Amino acid sequence: MPIFQAPPGHGVKPPVDPDTLIHRDLVGGDFWRKIPAYREIDEATFLDHRWQSKNSITRPDKLLNAVRELASPEFIADAEAGFHRAPMSVRVSPYILALIDWSSPYQDPLRRQFVPLASRLFPDHPKLDLDSLHEQADSPTPGLTHRYPDKALFLTLDTCPVYCRYCTRSYAVGVDTDEVHKVSLKAKPDRWDNIFKYIESRPELEDIVISGGDAYNLRAEQLKIIGERLLAIPHLRRMRFASKGPAVMPQKILTDDAWFGALAEMVEAGRKVHKDVALHTHFNHANEITAITQRAMNRLMEAGIHVRNQSVLLRGVNDSVAAMGLLIKRMSYVNVHGYYVYQHDLVKGVEDLRTTVGSTLELEKQVRGMTAGYNSPLFIVDAPGGGGKRDVHSFEHYNPVTGVSVYRSPNVDPGAFYCYFDPIDLLPNEGQQRWSDPAEHDAIVDEALAAAKARQR
């Protein structure tokens, strides 16, 4: 006798109302025309990547002027003050600008990513520092981070097609701001040459992440120089070009034939020598995926280019089950594999965007199983202090009252313990009280570390 005998018909799923399959409803048509400045822009122009780049907005006053008729004066003043105090450079593509719902900009998930508001600026966490991931400390030569045994991160240049408020590399990416004087990582052949030589000298390296900044901003011939040189290194087996581009300017994939051709050529060259070359991108919200995105992803698929996605968990953007579920389903629908969702790093000036480890545990539980396992991302914490990526569930200790979680990372440093800190404004009262007293800070960390170490015995 089977132990679980379901009554006949039990477990048969009733059909789903097709109207609820909203992940397939991609925004199409000429949606950009609702922005006054784009009212006369036809489709061919809006799809032209040169037009998108040339019209990307790099000054707060210009950005706000473009939407002044659409948003309230209070919002505009709030954003003006917000930009004034933000550590990140400003750059927003027309594509993103047109996808923001300016009639409700406080709630809009894309606005939250690119336009800071003074009214939402919370104090930074006391344990925050600018290069919280210690990418510079683990760097044998400028722009290469070699932390894990067989893989390394290559920062090819320091510019991006847009600048995200929450950027983890605000120590280097973008131009200097009032708040931060940046480390220089230019697209320079002699800097790259030192990186190639280091990689050649390390037979254990099999995998290179080609990032930045952003691989979208490499010229086609630069992308080929890097790809060909790396493919020629016998011990390298895998590489990924990392770009936010598909999420913020999918037009480039459709109309920059030189860049697309260079990428396709590198993927093809890799395939011929049995090396995996892929594109990694960074969608954070389902609203970033439109009919234009789908055409771009179709073009990549036709060229046999695999696309994987790394999202950052952002409060009010994708931290609800509905938003994260929709994102994952919609990415699957356009053939983008959800790879990682990162707990937000400790970054200056964006406490309003961070969430707690506790909420991530629940979110992960709710979304796993919504779609194919290979499209369901792993939720991770990039452990501050250079611990690297850890499954969010794998902490040695977590205190939801003080918001301290402690991780180990044996492949990086077998003896080390790494702490992540939840944003203070989301802690229960008792935790907020303790952090408000600077004399308590060391005790909070020490007790978390002691609890983690006690578990090791």
Ligand X SMILES: *Cc1c(COP(=O)(O)O)cnc(C)c1O
Which residues make up the interface to ligand X (CB under 6 A)?
A: 145, 147-148, 151-153, 209, 389
Using the minimum distance from each CB to ligand SF4, give the nearer residue, 24 or 219.
219
CB 114 to ligand X: min, Å? 23
The residue behind tokens 């122009």 is 45
CB 435 to ligand X: min, Å? 28
User: Could you count the other beta carbons within 10 Å of the beta carbon of residue 68?
Assistant: 14
Assign 3-class secondary structure to 281-294: ECCCCHHHCCHHHH
d(CA 213, CA 219): 13
First-to-final CA distance of the chain: 44
64, 71, 164, 331: which one binds ligand SF4 (CB under 6 A): 164
CB 110 to ligand SF4: min, Å? 13
Using the minimum distance from each CB to ligand SF4, give the nearer residue, 212 or 270.
212
The entry of ligand X, ligand SF4, none near residue 244 (CB within 5 to 8 angstroms by kind) is ligand SF4
Using the minimum distance from each CB to ligand X, give the nearer residue, 49 or 147.
147
The entry of ligand SF4, ligand X, none near residue 152 (CB within 5 to 8 angstroms by kind) is ligand X
CB 99 within 8 A of CB 110: yes
Using the minimum distance from each CB to ligand SF4, give the nearer residue, 131 or 396.
131
CB 245 to ligand SF4: min, Å? 8
The entry of ligand X, ligand SF4, none near residue 278 (CB within 5 to 8 angstroms by kind) is none
Using the minimum distance from each CB to ligand SF4, give the nearer residue, 191 or 244.
244
Q: String of b and e for 303-324 (b: at least 16 CB within 10 Å)?
A: eebbbbbbbbbbbbbbbeeebb
CB 390 to ligand X: min, Å? 10
The binding track of 250-289 with respect to ligand SF4, each residue x by CB under 6 A or -, is ----------------------------------------
The binding track of 332-361 with respect to ligand SF4, each residue x by CB under 6 A or -, is ------------------------------
CB 145 within 8 A of CB 199: no
Structure tokens that stand for 173 in this block? 């990416």
The residue behind tokens 């996605």 is 309
191, 240, 244, 329: which one binds ligand SF4 (CB under 6 A): 244
213 prior amide bond cis, ω within 30: yes
CB 209 to ligand X: min, Å? 5
Using the minimum distance from each CB to ligand X, give the nearer residue, 336 or 444.
336
CB 163 to ligand SF4: min, Å? 5
48, 78, 135, 214: which one binds ligand SF4 (CB under 6 A): 214
The entry of ligand X, ligand SF4, none near residue 214 (CB within 5 to 8 angstroms by kind) is ligand SF4
**What 3-state class would DSSP assign to 122?**
coil
The entry of ligand X, ligand SF4, none near residue 199 (CB within 5 to 8 angstroms by kind) is none
Query: Angle 73-84/60-67 helices, nearest 10 degrees?
Result: 170
Contacts of residues 182-191 at CB distance under 8 Å and 24 or more positions apart, as own/partner, are 182/158, 183/136, 183/158, 184/158, 185/142, 185/143, 185/155, 185/157, 185/158, 185/212, 185/213, 186/157, 186/158, 187/156, 187/157, 187/217, 187/218, 187/222, 189/225, 191/141, 191/142, 191/143
d(CA 128, CA 350): 11
Decide if residue 169 touches ligand SF4 (CB under 6 A): yes
Query: Considering only CA atoms, which of 338, 261, 273, 272 is closest in space to residue 303?
Result: 261
The entry of ligand X, ligand SF4, none near residue 169 (CB within 5 to 8 angstroms by kind) is ligand SF4
CB 246 to ligand SF4: min, Å? 11
The entry of ligand X, ligand SF4, none near residue 392 (CB within 5 to 8 angstroms by kind) is none
d(CA 447, CA 428): 18
Candidates 21-29, 104-112, 158-166, 434-442: pick the segment binding ligand SF4 (CB under 6 A).
Answer: 158-166
Q: Identify the H or E element spanning 378.
A: strand 378-383
Q: Identify the H or E element spanning 75.
A: helix 73-84
Return the residues of window 28-47 that contact ligand SF4 according to CB under 6 A.
Answer: none
Q: String of b and e for 239-258 (b: at least 16 CB within 10 Å)?
A: bbbbbbbbbbbbbbbbbbee
Using the minimum distance from each CB to ligand X, give the nearer residue, 209 or 445.
209
The entry of ligand SF4, ligand X, none near residue 132 (CB within 5 to 8 angstroms by kind) is none
Query: Considering only CA atoms, which of 188, 251, 190, 192 is closest in space to residue 216?
Result: 251
210 half-sphere exposure, CB direction, 13 A CA radius: 29
> Which positions touch ligand SF4 (CB under 6 A)?
160, 163-164, 167, 169, 173, 212-214, 244
